[in-house]
Amino acid sequence: MKTITSLGIIKERVKKRKGWIAFGNTLLITGFLSFSNHPDWGVWCSAIGFVITLIALFKK
């Protein structure tokens, strides 16, 4: 039962912060795609996108 409740909470947070999650995911995907040409930039871009997505999901 606890899993179902936490999934409902995450769904509500996704609805509220859809723009930030999309921005974080865009940075994450851009970092992965550019990793072969620019490894340093790709790693930092992916890391920043991952952090933004996590903050948007788990911030109360």
Helix axes 2-16, 39-58, angle to 10 degrees: 110
Q: Considering the entire predicted model, what is its pTM?
A: 0.72
**Domain definitions of the chain by residue range:** 2-58
- pLDDT tens, residue by residue, 3-60: 666 677 777 777 888 888 888 888 888 888 888 888 888 889 999 999 999 998 888 7
Q: How far apart are CA 32 and CA 41, in angstroms?
A: 10
